[in-house]
Amino acid sequence: MSVALVSEHASPLAVLGGVDAGGQNVHVARLASALADRGHRVTVYTRRDARDLPDRVLLRPGVEVHHVPAGPPEPIPKDELLPYMDDFGRWMAREWRGRAPDLVHSHFWMSGVASLRAAREARLPFLHTYHALGTVKRRHQKQADTSPPERLAMEREVGLGCDRVIATCHDEVYELGRMRIPAGKVGIVPCGVDTAVFCPEGPAADRDGGHRYRLLQLGRLVPRKGAAVSITALTRLPDTELLVVGGPPAGRLHEDPEVRRLREIARLAGVADRVRFTGGVAPEEVAPLLRSADVVLCPADYEPFGIVPLEAMACGRPVVASAVGGQLDTVADPETGRLVPPRDPDALARAVGELLADPAWRAACGAAGRRRVLSRYGWARVAAATEKEYAAVLAARPAVTGVA
């Protein structure tokens, strides 16, 4: 098949760790590659956010990235991109008049907005993956939600207008039902992890902090990821250090408001000497850092899916995560780690403390986590499941003739 993946703000070429660069970038890049491994031709459409970007980039054999001119060619926060989605969609529709893909699969709601109009004009099958839902974000962030006010209505329009929604976890299916998206048009395909890169074997990062135990939290440095909960929990975990991985480059950490906030929390809690911020790291550094940890923490307030638990489990490390979103699917309690209530540092500390006190349990969790990832979350399996969703949509649509 010829597959169009649309990812308006999350380029598969982006450097990870920025405010708008995270799991979706990885997902789109890995899904595209895994689909190409299965013999499909994949084109990823993402917004041009720099003047010097080429029109097209070959990501690997079978995968090409097209930079779509929509809005000024400069970085723009994703919550400010909606005004440019009409241009994005019109550009794709023109592109597809000459050479149309067999189907369109959009990622994130604004990609869905652009793709819905373009796919309708080109009369193409259209699937959508949300990655995050505005209803959930607004419920948790309330006035702090910076999404455009049109988001909720447009998300529902995309869900009703596409041929198929591919949800990433069971919690998302429930939320889609609350949006009155019919359950019959929703399938579940989880996000995946590269089990060759993220594996127990391989180098581990140095542990030079002089503490008996190391906890690690990895991801974007935004309040909802719960680093403040991890720092507060540290007060109940003696002889333990916390490594916070992510955010701006190490040399610019002092400029970051969230880093300053977290450092002040650590200072007031009396654990500043046991909390270390690495800043953003290169992709090849992530697995060694995970292997260096005794326990990996994922204490987000909410988490639409969450790639980090998969990466940690693939590396054979136990995970303590908040019982929200996709983490309810990925983390098996108590086989691969523990699930705790969000925003509860006492519960987090208790769960971590029990694991730290029992080396045999930690090892068993790590081994079980690796097995769980291999059986469910490898990219080859994810691509095969996605392909089945594609095939079902193509089989259900009547043949279209007379379309270029």
Q: Mind listing the pLDDT tens digit for each residue in 33-82?
A: 999 999 999 999 999 999 999 999 999 999 999 999 999 999 999 999 99
The strand pair at 275-279 and 240-245 is best described as parallel
Q: Mind listing the pLDDT tens digit for each residue in 134-188?
A: 999 999 888 888 899 999 999 999 999 999 999 999 999 999 999 999 999 999 9
Confidence of residue 19 (pLDDT cuts 50, 70, 90): very low
- Whether the predicted pLDDT of 399 surpasses 70: no
pTM above 0.85, yes or no: yes
CA 194/CA 41 separation, integer angstroms: 20
Q: What is the mean pLDDT of residues 368-385?
A: 98
Q: Mind listing the pLDDT tens digit for each residue in 30-42?
A: 999 999 999 999 9
Q: Is the CB of residue 321 less than 8 Å from the CB of residue 299?
A: yes
Q: Mind listing the pLDDT tens digit for each residue in 332-348?
A: 999 999 999 999 999 99
Domains of the chain: 2-192+379-396 (3.40.50.2000), 213-376 (3.40.50.2000)
